[in-house]
Structure 1
Amino acid sequence: MKRMALWEAKHPKIVIAIALALIVPAIIGFIMTRVNYDIMSYLPDSVESVQGEEILDKTFNNASMSIIVIEKSDARYVAALKEEIEKMDAVSSVIWVNSLADISIPQDVLPDALKDIFYSKSSDSTMMLVQYKYAGSSAETMQTIKNIKTLLSKNAFISGVSAIVEDTKELSDKEAPIYIVLAIVVALVAMSFMMESWLQPFIVLAALGIAIIYNMGTNVFKGEISFITQSIAAILQLGVTMDYSVFLIDRYNEEKLKTSIREEAMANAVTKSFTALMGSSLTTIFGFLALCFMTFTLGLDIGLVMAKGVVFGILTVVLVLPELVLIFEDTMNKYKHKSFLPHFEKLNNFVFKYKAVFAVLFVLLLIPAYLLQSKVDLYYNMDKALPQNLISIQGLYKMKDEFQMASTQFVIIDDSIDSGKLTKLENEIESIDGISTVLSYNKVIGPAIPDDIVPDKILDICKKDGKQLMMVNSVYESASDELNSQIDEMTAIIKAYDPNAIVTGEGAITKDMIVTTNRDFNVTAMLSIVAIFILLAVTFKSISLPVLLILSIELAIWINLSVSKILGAEVSFVGPTVINCIQLGATVDYAVLLTTRFREELHSGLDKKEAILKAANAAERSVFQSAVVFFVATFAVYLVCNISIVKGICSLLARGSVISAASIVFFLMPLLYIFEGVISKTTFGWAKGKKAASVNTENIAKEENKNA
C-alpha cells in the first residue's frame, strides 16, 4: 500500500488525468440508466395482486389504465377526443358510452348500468377509460399520457396510477438537478467556514463529485434505479463520505510535521488512513446493505446504490483527493483563514458535571421513545406525495367527488362460471359497504346475448383466454383501513365462487405493500443492528461497547421518528425503514470516533476523567463538522422539494444528523465514563489504559518527591 501511495504522490497529474478520463464512460452510463417512477413495481412477484397485474398486462392489455374526466362538454367533443386518443400507437383501447351504445341515444334513455359508470350523479361530467399496450411506467406509456394531456381542454382531467407516475416523472426530472446543485452550494458555504482554507472545500467536493459521478454512472449495470434513489443518492453520498476527506487532510497535516518531503508525508497519510477509513466505512456500508434484504425491492435499489457510493467515496479519497491536495496545496495555503468551528470545552465540562443526570435521562427516554416511534403515522398512496395542483391529482379528486371512485379494483375470475352465478356474485359485491359501481360484461351486455355476436373489440376488453374481468369502484381511498377491510371481504366472496380468482388494482396492491413493508421494516431494522453489532464487537474486541454505541444511535433514531408523531406529521412508508438503516449506519461513526479517541487517551496514560474530556473535545469537532454538512445538504433539499416522499426522507435525515450528534455529546460521553469499569472487564486490551495511567501517576509522584 505504501509503495502504491508513494507512486501516486509522485505522479499526481497522471492519476488525475485517469480519474477525469473515467468520468466520460460514467456520464454515458448515467444517461443510459433508466429511472423507475412506479413505486408499486418493487413489490415481489409472489404477491397475488402483482400476479393479477401480470394477467391484466399479458391477457387483457390492461396493466396500465388512465381515467379521463370531462366536465360540462357535449357528446361530440368527447367522441372526437376519444377518436384522437385511439389513434395513438401505445393505446390499446378507449372505452366510453359510444363503445357500447350509439351516441345519438339521449343520456336519460341509456341503461342504468351505462349511466352509473360513465356519467356523474349530476350528469355534468362524463368519464372514459384509456387502456395502454405497455406497462404503466414504460417510456411508451409515459409519452402517450404526455401527448393526451396536450389534447385535454381546461375542464378535462386525466388520472389513474399511470398518470400519477407520469406527473411524478415530470416533477422529479425537473427538480432532481436542483437538489444536487443546492446541496453542493450549501455544503460549500458550511465547509468554507469550518475548514482552514477557502479553497479546501472546493478540493474536497471535486474529489467527492468524481465519486458521485462514478456511482451514478455504474448504475447502468443495474439497468434502472428508482426516482427516490436518483433524488437522494448524491446528497446522501456527499453527507456520508465528506468526513473521510477531512480525516485524510488532517492526517496529511500531521505527517508533514514528521517529514519535510510532501510526497512522503502524503503517502504515509494515505497508508495510515486507509485501514481506519475502511473500518469506519464498513458500519455505513453494513447499514445500507441491510436495506437489500427487503422483499420490497426499493430497499435493494437504495441500499446497493448507497453502499456502492461509500466504496467509491473511499477510493476517491485515497486515490484522487491526495493528488488534488498536492497539486493545489500552495494555492490552498495562500487562502488560509481561521476556522470558525466552535470549541466544546465548556459544553463538555457541563455535561461531565451532570453526567449522572444525563445517564438517567438516557435510560428514561429509551422506552417512551421506542413506543412513540412505533406509532408514527405512515402514508402509502402517491396522491399524498405530490403537489395538489397536478392534473393527475385534480383528476383523482374529480373521480372521488363526482363518480364515487376513490379507488378501483379489478377482479379476474374464471369465464366458465355460468351467468346466474356471476349475477349473484356481482350483487354480493355491490352489497359490500363502500362499493359504488361494478362494471362487468354480464351487467353491460347481459347474459341473454351470445358471445358470438358481440364484436371482438368489446369482447376482448372483458373476456379472454378463459378469464373474465370486472372493474369494481370504491368510495374508500387506497391504504385506508376501510378499503383494506373491503378488499378482504370482496376477496372472500369471489374465492367462494372461484378459488383461483384474483383481486388486483391500486387498492389491492397498496394493501399488499403495507403488509410487505411492515414486515420488511422489522427485518431490516434487526439486520442492521445485528450486522453493525458484530462489526463493532470485532473492531473493539468487546461485548459491552457495541451495546452502548448502538443504543446511543438507536435512541437518536427513535427520538427522530417520535418528533414526527408529536408534530402530527405523516411519514412516507419507506421513511422509517430507510432512516433506521441509514441513520444507524451513517452516524454510528460519530460514536466510534469518540470511543476510539477515549481508548487512545487512556492508553496514553491519562486518567479516566482527563481521557473522556480530551477525547470529547477532539472528537466532537469532527462530529460537528460532519453533522453540519449532512444537515445543511439535506435540509436545503427539504425546503425546495415538492415530492413528499423525497422531502420527508430529507427532513428525517437532516433532523437525524443533529439528534445523533447531540446523543453522542449528551449521552454517550457520560455513559462511556460511568461504565468504563464494565467496559474494561468486557473489552480485550482496554485495561492497558489503566496500566498506563497507573504508571503515569507513579512517575508523576516520584518526580514530585524528587523535586521535594
Structure 2
Amino acid sequence: MKNHKEKTLTDRIIETVVYRRTRIEKFFILLIVFSLFCLPMVEINYDLTEYLPVSTETKQGIDLMEREFGYPGTARVLIRDVSVYEAKIYKNRIEQIDGVDTVSWADTAGEIYVSNDFLEAQDLDDYYKDGYAVMDIQFVEGDSSLRTDAAIEKIRALVGDRGAYSGPALDSKMLKENLANEIGRVLIFSIVMILLILAATTTSWFEPLLFMLTMGVAILINMGSNIIFGRISFLSYCVAAVLQLAVAMDYSIFLLHTFTAEKARGLGTEEAMENALHLAVGSIVSSAITTVVGFVALALMQFTIGRDIGFVLAKGILCSLVTVLFLMPALIIRWHRFVERSQHRPLIPPLDGFAKGLFKVRHFFAAFCIILIVPAFVAQNMNHFVFGGAAVGAGEGTQLHADKAETDALFGEKNLVLAILPNSSSVTEKRLADELEDLPFVKSVTSLSSVLPDGIPESFLPSGLTTQLHTGQYARMLIFLSTPVETDFTFECLDTVRETVHRYYPQDTYIIGSTPAAQDIKSTITGDYTEVNLISMLGVALVILCSFRSITMTIVVMVPIEVAILFNMALPYVYGNNLIFLGYLMVSSMQLGATVDYSILLTNNYMNCRAAVSDKKAAAIRAISQSALSIMTSGIILTVCGYGLYYLTSITAAADLGRLIGRGAVFSMILVLTLLPMLLTIFDKAIFRDRAFFERLLRIGGRLPARDVADKNAGQRELVTTLQNRSGSADGSEESKEESK
C-alpha cells in the first residue's frame, strides 16, 4: 500500500468510495428523495418556436403579438351529418364554452350586418358541403394551456362522435397525453429487453438487476435535476431516459466485470474493488467524455432546442458516470454474494471462430463501403427535410392524423398566417386585404377593415372582435392559405405574401404562423448543421487523440463511425421518407458520441494484443474476439431502445429519432467489427510511429518519464485479462502459439 504522502487524489477518492460507502449510500438516498420531489415541478415545453433566435422575424412577431393581442391557440372542427342551421347552433354553443374566444364560420360576418337569408344564399363551399360543416376555433389562451385542453374536452363532449378534430391545440394536447402513456411504455419495454439481453450475455442472473438498479438511480437523478433548467422540451423528455439507459449501461458492466476479474485473482472484496476502480476509471471516464462531447456540441446550435437536448443528455451521462463510480461500488460490495451465488455458465460460447470469420470477409465489407460511399453521400444530400411543428405532430395510424386527413379531403387544407401591421390607416389595410384575397393560393383574409362595412364606425362592432384585430398601435390580419404547412410551394407562396405586405407596410411588420416558423427554423437549423457536426467531430477526435496519442489512430478510430453515420442518413432518401432535419442534425452528433466507444474499445484491445503478439493480423482477430460481445451487447441494447421508441410512440419526431438512433447503432456495430480491424492492420506501422513520436515529445517536455511509459504498458496488459473476462473469451491453443511467435 502507498503511504499517505505517495497517494494521489485518485487514490484518496477511491479509498473514500470503498471505505466510506455507507455515507455515500445515504447521500444517494437523499438525492433520490430530492429528485422525486423535483420531478413533478419540471415543466415540459411543446412549442418549437420558443427555441428560435431572438433575431428571427417569427420570434420577434410572436413576442409582439403576445404583448398586443395575446397568443391564442387554434383548432379546426369538422361536424358530420348536420344541416346549415344545425351547424350554426353548434357554432353558437361552442362559442359559449369557457376558454373559447371566437369561432369562425360562414355566419361570422353575416350575423353582424346581414340576414340569415343571405347566409342561405351565399357560396358555403368553404364552410359547409354535403352535410359537413367545418369551423375554425380560436381559444383565449395558448395551444398548450390547461384551459385550452379543458375547452377541447368540452367541445368533444358537445359534438360527440359527429366531430373530427385537428389543429395546433389538438397536436399539443395529443403530445401531452401520449408523453405520459407512451414514454412509460417505451421505458418498460426497454427495461425488459435489456434485462433479457444482459441475462444472455452475462454469467450471473443477479448482474442485470444490479445494472438496472444503478441506471435507474442515475436516470431518476437526471430527470429530477432538470429542475435547474426550469423546463425542458418534449423531445428531451421523450428521448433522454431511453438514451441514457442504452448509452451508459456499459459503464456499470465494465466496472462489475473488472471487479469480478480482480476477485477471481483471490483478492478480498474491498481490495478487489480498489483495484477494479483503478483499472476501470480511466476507460469509463474517457468513454463518458466522448459521449458528453457529442451531446454538448448540440448546445452550440442557434436553434436552442439543441442546447436543451444537449445539456439534458450530457447531464444524464454525467449522472450515470457519478452513480457508477460512487454508488455502484457500494452496491457491488453489499450484494457481491448474490452475484457469486447466481453464477451460471456462459450462454454465448467464445467468439474466436466468429472473429476469424469476420476478419476473413473484411475485404468484402471494405469493397462494399468504397462502392457505396459516393452514392450514400449524394443520397444524404438529396433527402427531403421537414423543419417545423408539422414534423412533430401525430403520426400515421393515430385518430388525430385520420381526423385531419378527413377534414382536408373535404374542405382542403387551411393554413393560418398572421400579419402584424402598424395600425395607421384603415384604407391601406383594406387595400392590402383585397390584394391578398386575389392571390390564387389565399383562401380568405380576415381584418377589421374587411369586416367593417363602409361608413360604419369601429365602435359599432363587438369589443371582443375589435380587440382581436386592433390595438392602439398595431393591427392583426388573419390570412388563410389553401396550402399545406410545409412544402417548397408553400414557402414560395409565403414569400409572395410577405412581399405584398411589405409593399404596403415597409416597416414594423411581422409575418408569423406555422409556415413562417418552419421557414425560420429551416434557415436557422441549416446553418447549424455544418458547425455542430464539425465541432462534435473535432471534440471527439481531441479526446481520442489525448487517449491514444496518435493522429493516424484517431482518424482510423473515427472512420467507421463516420461511414456508419453517412449510410444511416442516406437511407431515408432510398426509402422515400421525409426526414426531420432536427433529427438529422441531432442523431449525427448522438451516433458519433454514443458509438465511437465501440471503436475505442476494439482499438484499445488491438493495441494491448499487439504488445503480446507480433503478428498484426493475429492481434486483430484476437481484438475482435475480445471486443465482439461487449460491442454487440451495447449495440443491440441501443438498437432495441431506438426501435422501441420508433414502434411504441405516435409522436412523429420522437419516433423518427428512435429509428435513426437504432439503425445508426446497427451500422456502427457492423462497421467497427469489420472495417476497423482491417484499417488497424493497414495503418499499424503509422500508428506505432505516431505513438513513439508523441511519447518522445512528452518525455522531452517532462510530461511523461520513461518509467511511466513502462507502467502504462504494464497496466494495459493487465487490462487485457479484464477485457477477456468481459467478452467471455478464453485464450485458445492457437492464440498461445501466436503469442509464442
| TM-score normalised by the chain length of structure 1 | 0.90
User: Aligned to 1:401, which of 403, 409, 416?
Assistant: 409
Quickly say closer, same or farther: Cα 1:388–1:555, change in 2 above 3 A: closer
Residue equivalent to 2:66: 57
Q: Post-superposition shift, 1:604?
A: 3.7
Q: Post-superposition shift, 1:351?
A: 4.1
Quickly say closer, same or farther: Cα 1:677–1:221, change in 2 above 3 A: same
Q: How does 1:152-551 map to 2 (within 5 A)?
A: 152-380=159-387, 385-388=393-396, 392-419=400-427, 421-500=428-507, 501-551=509-559
Q: 2 CA distance for matches of 1:116 and 1:409?
A: 22
Q: 2 CA distance for matches of 1:224 and 1:243?
A: 29
Give the letter for the 2:284 counterpart. Answer: L
- Aligned to 1:135, the other structure's residue is in SS state coil
Q: 2 CA distance for matches of 1:388 and 1:661?
A: 30
The CA RMSD measured in Å over matched residues stands at 2.9
Residue equivalent to 2:681: 673
Q: 2 CA distance for matches of 1:134 and 1:685?
A: 66
1:563 and 2:571 matched: yes
Give the letter for the 1:15 counterpart. Answer: I
Quickly say closer, same or farther: Cα 1:356–1:179, change in 2 above 3 A: closer
Is the Cα contact below 8 Å between 1:117 and 1:439 reproduced in 2? no
Q: 2 CA distance for matches of 1:106 and 1:401?
A: 30
Give the letter for the 2:553 counterpart. Answer: L
Give the letter for the 2:118 counterpart. Answer: V
User: 655-664 or 452-461: which moved more?
Assistant: 452-461
Quickly say closer, same or farther: Cα 1:424–1:604, change in 2 above 3 A: same
Q: Report Cα offsets for 1:29-86 as digits up to 9, x if no partner.
A: 1111111223333222321123222233221224422233334435665555555544
Q: 2 CA distance for matches of 1:361 and 1:389?
A: 37
Give the letter for the 1:407 counterpart. Answer: N
How many pairs align? 689
Q: 2 CA distance for matches of 1:303 and 1:136?
A: 26
Is the Cα contact below 8 Å between 1:405 and 1:473 reproduced in 2? no
Give the letter for the 1:230 counterpart. Answer: Y
Q: Post-superposition shift, 1:21?
A: 3.2
Is the Cα contact below 8 Å between 2:452 and 2:458 reproduced in 1? no
Q: Report Cα offsets for 1:487-528 as digits up to 9, x if no partner.
A: 011111111111232221111112222222222222222221
Is the Cα contact below 8 Å between 1:197 and 1:335 reproduced in 2? yes
Q: Report Cα offsets for 1:607-663 as digits up to 9, x if no partner.
A: 322322222211222111211222222223333222222222111211111110111
Q: 1 CA distance for matches of 2:531 and 2:398?
A: 36
Q: 2 CA distance for matches of 1:200 and 1:363?
A: 41
Residue equivalent to 2:18: 9
Q: 2 CA distance for matches of 1:357 and 1:388?
A: 39
Is the Cα contact below 8 Å between 2:354 and 2:625 reproduced in 1? no
Is the Cα contact below 8 Å between 1:432 and 1:486 reproduced in 2? no
Q: 2 CA distance for matches of 1:336 and 1:686?
A: 44
- Aligned to 1:314, the other structure's residue is in SS state helix
Q: 1 CA distance for matches of 2:321 and 2:127?
A: 61
Quickly say closer, same or farther: Cα 1:55–1:72, change in 2 above 3 A: farther
Is the Cα contact below 8 Å between 1:399 and 1:406 reproduced in 2? no
Give the letter for the 2:466 counterpart. Answer: L
Q: Report Cα offsets for 1:210-258 as digits up to 9, x if no partner.
A: 0000000101111112222212211101111111111111211222244
Q: Report Cα offsets for 1:577-607 as digits up to 9, x if no partner.
A: 1210110000001111111222222234533
| Structure 2: gaps of 5 or more residues | 1-9, 696-708, 714-736
Q: 2 CA distance for matches of 1:562 and 1:87?
A: 52
Residue equivalent to 2:28: 19
Q: 2 CA distance for matches of 1:15 and 1:475?
A: 62
Give the letter for the 2:404 counterpart. Answer: L
Q: Post-superposition shift, 1:188?
A: 0.3
| Structure 1: gaps of 5 or more residues | 693-703
- Aligned to 2:110, the other structure's residue is in SS state coil
Is the Cα contact below 8 Å between 2:156 and 2:163 reproduced in 1? no
Is the Cα contact below 8 Å between 2:389 and 2:518 reproduced in 1? no
Is the Cα contact below 8 Å between 1:116 and 1:437 reproduced in 2? no
Residue equivalent to 2:702: none
Residue equivalent to 1:701: none
Residue equivalent to 1:574: 582
User: 541-550 or 126-135: which moved more?
Assistant: 126-135
Quickly say closer, same or farther: Cα 1:241–1:434, change in 2 above 3 A: same
User: 148-157 or 170-179: which moved more?
Assistant: 148-157
Q: Post-superposition shift, 1:307?
A: 0.4
Q: How does 1:611-690 map to 2 (within 5 A)?
A: 611-684=619-692
Q: Post-superposition shift, 1:530?
A: 1.6
Is the Cα contact below 8 Å between 1:289 and 1:304 reproduced in 2? yes
Q: Report Cα offsets for 1:114-133 as digits up to 9, x if no partner.
A: 8669723x374444443333
Q: Report Cα offsets for 1:461-501 as digits up to 9, x if no partner.
A: 22212222222222210111111000011111111111232
User: 493-502 or 608-617: which moved more?
Assistant: 608-617
Q: Report Cα offsets for 1:148-200 as digits up to 9, x if no partner.
A: 33332322333321221112211222211111111101100110010001111
- Aligned to 1:157, the other structure's residue is in SS state strand
Q: Post-superposition shift, 1:670?
A: 0.1
Quickly say closer, same or farther: Cα 1:290–1:409, change in 2 above 3 A: same
Is the Cα contact below 8 Å between 1:186 and 1:636 reproduced in 2? no
Q: 1 CA distance for matches of 2:124 and 2:114?
A: 16
Q: Post-superposition shift, 1:358?
A: 4.0
Identity over aligned pairs, percent:
25
User: 393-402 or 146-155: which moved more?
Assistant: 393-402
Is the Cα contact below 8 Å between 2:106 and 2:124 reproduced in 1? no
Q: 2 CA distance for matches of 1:48 and 1:620?
A: 51
- Aligned to 1:154, the other structure's residue is in SS state helix
Residue equivalent to 1:695: none
Q: Post-superposition shift, 1:576?
A: 1.0
Q: Post-superposition shift, 1:453?
A: 3.0
Residue equivalent to 2:723: none
